[in-house]
Amino acid sequence: MSYERDNIRSLDAYTPGEQPDRGDVIKLNTNENPYPPCEAVMRAIGQVPADALRRYPSPQAGRFRQIAAQVHGLSPQQVIATNGGDELLRLAISVFCNVEGEPSKRTGIGVTEPTYSLYPVLASIHNTPVTSIPLNADYSIPDSFAKDMVSSEVGLVLVVNPHAPSGRLEPVEKLLAIAETLRGHAVLLVDEAYVDFAEIDALPLLDEKHELDNVILLRTMSKGYSLAGLRFGYGLGHANLIAALDKARDSYNTNALSQAAAAAALEHRDAAATSWQAVIGERQRMGDALMSRRFMVQPSQTNFILVTPPAIAGGQRLSDADAAADLYQFLKAANILVRYFDHEGLRDKLRITIGTPQQNDALLQAIDDWLTAGR
């Protein structure tokens, strides 16, 4: 006897990247920041009094909301704090997309192909369909994207920018054009999980002069602020959209500790910015080093790079796809985890998180071993 809904029964759950317990593994597979969170964050956690744990937390993370509004030049009503960026994604899908069978229009999400692999899983959990449009060969968004989404009558369009897993950054003008085409038809959520490592962000979309009532930006403390373990993200957008999301979230969706830590992290973002510069520098170095080893390297504005290994290793010719899978396994045996996607268009590639200089050197050494060693 199964009691769950059909869509849950048939669901292939999302597979997060491996999270080994062992300390001797070099983890370059889940895009964590290689540097620890700043001292001020640890102090803020240590200073949360027992009484703040005894009582219910601020339902809307009031203090964090104030700080985020100030940092981004918005009003608090344009900010929602969530239990990781994941919760914001789930909320947006459940609030803006009708379920299959519901009478109204605006069913389903619209995404690019490829995109962050969690989106279609969240759509399945909500039992809403996915409209997927292939990116151009250079991972840019096709010009017809927004119009096609309007035709498909989706409720929510999810665009990760900078893009995962390619690392490509679309210019604000392009996002603006997409939002304008979608206005009156669908909400556009720009997932800026990696924005701290990019040259520009999508905040100009929220400028009142554009009169966009259908834009939400997703931010997370996981990557830029070295706080993946904290589960804290937030959304920025039109106050009406934020209010709708706010109605649907769990009553107390973030906790007293994560609120205090996230507030401290945002207040001390200069400390985090030091890590962004270090990662950007290493990203350049690693790209150059891998290109000199005959890897194809996709230009990246994130803390990872998508690379295509050369199809020759240890003097042996492999198919393109075999080379990536082979290198993935080779690195894993050497205690270095990177991300391999068994997914069309990605089977010849690896996504590699930028680590510390020492971790990156170890990776290059292991790659050199793979390139030269007989297998």
User: Minimum Å distance from CB 157 to a copy of itself?
Assistant: 11
- As a whole number of angstroms, the distance between CA 157 and CA 343 comes to 21
Closer Cβ to a copy of itself, 80 or 318, answer by number: 80
User: Minimum Å distance from CB 132 to a copy of itself?
Assistant: 21
Closer Cβ to a copy of itself, 27 or 219, answer by number: 27
Smallest CA-to-CA distance from 5 within 120, 101, 104 is with 101
Query: Rounded to the nearest 10 degrees, what angle do helices 118-126 and 84-96 cross at?
Result: 50
- As a whole number of angstroms, the distance between CA 241 and CA 111 comes to 19
Closer Cβ to a copy of itself, 184 or 374, answer by number: 184
Closer Cβ to a copy of itself, 63 or 347, answer by number: 63
User: Minimum Å distance from CB 62 to a copy of itself?
Assistant: 8
Closer Cβ to a copy of itself, 2 or 292, answer by number: 2
User: Minimum Å distance from CB 84 to a copy of itself?
Assistant: 6
Hey, is 48 helix, strand or coil?
coil
Closer Cβ to a copy of itself, 114 or 233, answer by number: 233
DSSP letter for each residue of 295-353: -EE---SSSEEEEE--SEETTEE--HHHHHHHHHHHHHHTTEE-B---STTTTT-EEEE
Query: Rounded to the nearest 10 degrees, what angle do helices 256-267 and 39-46 cross at?
Result: 150
Q: Residue 348: which residues within 8 A CB-CB, separation 6 or more?
A: 308, 309, 320, 321, 323, 324
- As a whole number of angstroms, the distance between CA 132 and CA 148 comes to 10
Closer Cβ to a copy of itself, 138 or 211, answer by number: 211
Structure token digits, residue 356 = 């510390």
Closer Cβ to a copy of itself, 86 or 320, answer by number: 86
- As a whole number of angstroms, the distance between CA 224 and CA 303 comes to 9
ω into 309 cis (within 30 of 0)? no
User: Minimum Å distance from CB 263 to a copy of itself?
Assistant: 14
Strand order in the sheet with 233-237: 79-82, 233-237, 215-220, 187-191, 156-160, 109-113, 130-134
Instruction: Let me know if 310 is exposed, middle or buried by CB neighbors in 10 A (0-12, 13-18, 19+).
Output: middle
User: Minimum Å distance from CB 273 to a copy of itself?
Assistant: 16
User: Minimum Å distance from CB 42 to a copy of itself?
Assistant: 6
User: Minimum Å distance from CB 224 to a copy of itself?
Assistant: 12
- As a whole number of angstroms, the distance between CA 144 and CA 142 comes to 5
Closer Cβ to a copy of itself, 189 or 327, answer by number: 189
User: Minimum Å distance from CB 290 to a copy of itself?
Assistant: 24
